[in-house]
Amino acid sequence: VAPGPNQVLIGVEFSPLNQSDLLLARGIYGTRPPLPTVIGNEGVGRVLAVGPRVESVKVGDRVLAPLSSFTWRERIIVSANDLFALHPDADPRQLAMLAINPPTAALLLSEYVDLKPGDWVVQNSANSGVGRWVIAFAKTRGLKTVNIVRRPELMTELKAIGGDIVVVDSPDVSKEIKAAVGQAELLLALDGVSGPATGVLAATLSPHGTLVSYAAMSLGPMSI
């Protein structure tokens, strides 16, 4: 099928497997497309053909597929709106993961609390895609991070990529965090786990702090 006016045919190269894809397949995600359906929320590919009036990209360009365009397939036709050419030498596997986790992390650090350089942020799910991007963006903004993990072997790795404090989850982890940051305030907590882990984060927050839940990897309800 040839692309129509202002449309582009993309040959999908890589599409990651996200938790949101699995939730959609189980029928418990916010989007419920008519069945049968392909799934896949993000991906990257080459422009194979362009329709009339397309000026933003050309054949051969590598582009991000629009969010929720169901990328687990070889070919898709999408609107050319908001498409742009990516750097030709970048790793396409890394590019395929640009549309969800990095913007989520950036917005988590800017949309809920007016953080200033030197402020602390605490997060669970620190080893996730979002968690690692939170660490990266925090470093560029002069923020400090407390990162909760569930496996001791991750502590060295997350410290190496810029995590200021990395602790292993335990019944006393909130006390350990407060001792580590001293008199500093913890004004923002980022919850990607849910269940009892939400309550652990809430216990670390300073008065009038803000807890933001962006995912529920445990699939359990918040417990505070």
**Residues annotated catalytic, as ranges:** 29
**Gyration radius of the chain over CA positions:** 20
DSSP string, 99-132: SSHHHHHHHHTTSSS---TT-EEEESSTTSHHHH
d(C-alpha 126, C-alpha 145), whole Å: 10
d(C-alpha 67, C-alpha 184), whole Å: 38
- The helix/strand count (H/E) of the chain reads as 7, 9
208-219 in b/e form (b: 16+ CB < 10 A) is ebebbeebbebe
